[in-house]
Protein backbone atom coordinates (compact mmCIF):
# COMPACT_ATOMS: atom_id res chain seq x y z
CA UNK A 1 0.00 0.00 0.00
CA UNK A 2 2.64 2.52 1.06
CA UNK A 3 4.96 1.28 -1.66
CA UNK A 4 2.43 2.03 -4.40
CA UNK A 5 1.21 5.34 -2.98
CA UNK A 6 4.59 6.81 -2.07
CA UNK A 7 6.19 5.66 -5.33
CA UNK A 8 3.32 7.12 -7.33
CA UNK A 9 3.52 10.43 -5.49
CA UNK A 10 7.30 10.57 -5.97
CA UNK A 11 6.84 9.87 -9.70
CA UNK A 12 4.18 12.60 -9.84
CA UNK A 13 6.51 15.02 -8.06
CA UNK A 14 9.30 14.21 -10.55
CA UNK A 15 6.95 14.69 -13.49
CA UNK A 16 7.02 11.01 -14.53
CA UNK A 17 3.27 10.87 -13.90
CA UNK A 18 1.31 13.89 -15.05
CA UNK A 19 -2.19 12.65 -14.17
CA UNK A 20 -3.42 14.62 -11.13
CA UNK A 21 -5.91 11.86 -10.37
CA UNK A 22 -3.05 9.94 -8.76
CA UNK A 23 -3.60 12.15 -5.70
CA UNK A 24 -7.22 11.01 -5.41
CA UNK A 25 -6.25 7.37 -6.00
CA UNK A 26 -3.66 7.68 -3.22
CA UNK A 27 -6.24 9.06 -0.80
CA UNK A 28 -8.71 6.26 -1.60
CA UNK A 29 -6.02 3.62 -1.09
CA UNK A 30 -5.07 5.08 2.29
CA UNK A 31 -8.75 5.27 3.25
CA UNK A 32 -8.87 1.46 2.90
CA UNK A 33 -5.94 0.94 5.28
CA UNK A 34 -8.09 0.57 8.45
CA UNK A 35 -9.90 -2.37 6.82
CA UNK A 36 -6.58 -4.18 6.35
CA UNK A 37 -5.57 -3.40 9.92
CA UNK A 38 -8.86 -4.82 11.17
CA UNK A 39 -8.33 -8.04 9.21
CA UNK A 40 -4.75 -8.33 10.48
CA UNK A 41 -5.80 -8.10 14.12
CA UNK A 42 -7.24 -11.60 13.84
CA UNK A 43 -3.74 -12.99 13.27
CA UNK A 44 -1.55 -10.93 15.57
CA UNK A 45 -1.54 -8.53 18.49
CA UNK A 46 -1.96 -4.83 17.82
CA UNK A 47 1.59 -4.14 18.96
CA UNK A 48 3.32 -6.68 16.72
CA UNK A 49 1.02 -6.11 13.76
CA UNK A 50 1.64 -2.36 13.81
CA UNK A 51 5.40 -2.73 14.20
CA UNK A 52 5.58 -5.24 11.35
CA UNK A 53 3.40 -3.06 9.10
CA UNK A 54 5.56 0.01 9.74
CA UNK A 55 8.96 -1.66 9.43
CA UNK A 56 8.07 -3.75 6.38
CA UNK A 57 6.61 -0.69 4.68
CA UNK A 58 9.76 1.30 5.48
CA UNK A 59 12.04 -1.40 4.05
CA UNK A 60 9.96 -1.81 0.88
CA UNK A 61 9.65 1.94 0.26
CA UNK A 62 13.37 2.42 0.95
CA UNK A 63 14.21 -0.34 -1.54
CA UNK A 64 12.04 1.33 -4.18
CA UNK A 65 13.72 4.67 -3.48
CA UNK A 66 17.18 3.15 -3.80
CA UNK A 67 16.66 0.97 -6.86
CA UNK A 68 13.84 2.59 -8.84
CA UNK A 69 14.46 6.28 -8.10
CA UNK A 70 18.28 5.90 -7.71
CA UNK A 71 18.32 7.65 -4.34
CA UNK A 72 21.48 7.38 -2.26
CA UNK A 73 21.97 6.81 1.46
CA UNK A 74 25.12 6.76 3.55
CA UNK A 75 26.66 3.85 5.45
CA UNK A 76 24.92 4.61 8.76
CA UNK A 77 21.49 4.71 7.10
CA UNK A 78 22.32 1.46 5.26
CA UNK A 79 23.04 -0.09 8.66
CA UNK A 80 19.66 1.19 9.84
CA UNK A 81 17.96 -0.57 6.90
CA UNK A 82 19.82 -3.81 7.71
CA UNK A 83 18.72 -3.56 11.35
CA UNK A 84 15.14 -2.97 10.18
CA UNK A 85 15.31 -6.23 8.22
CA UNK A 86 16.70 -8.00 11.28
CA UNK A 87 13.82 -6.60 13.35
CA UNK A 88 11.31 -8.12 10.90
CA UNK A 89 12.82 -11.55 11.52
CA UNK A 90 12.80 -11.01 15.28
CA UNK A 91 9.18 -9.82 15.30
CA UNK A 92 8.00 -12.83 13.29
CA UNK A 93 10.01 -15.35 15.35
CA UNK A 94 7.74 -17.98 16.90
CA UNK A 95 8.36 -18.20 20.62
CA UNK A 96 7.64 -21.36 22.59
**What digits encode the pLDDT tens for the residues 10-61?**
999 999 999 999 999 999 999 998 898 888 888 778 888 889 989 999 999 9
Structural domains of the chain, count: 1
Question: What is the pTM assigned to this prediction?
Answer: 0.81
Show the 3-state SS of the chain.
CHHHHHHHHHHHHHCCCCCCHHHHHHHHHHHCHHHHHHHHCCCCCHHHHHHHHHHHHHHHHHHHHHHCCCCCCCHHHHHHHHHHHHHHHHHHCCCC
Domain containing 80: what range? 2-92
State the pLDDT at residue 42: 81
Amino acid sequence: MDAFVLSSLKAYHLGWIEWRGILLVSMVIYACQPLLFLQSLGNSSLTIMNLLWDVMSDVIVTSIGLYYFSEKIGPMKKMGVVLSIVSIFLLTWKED
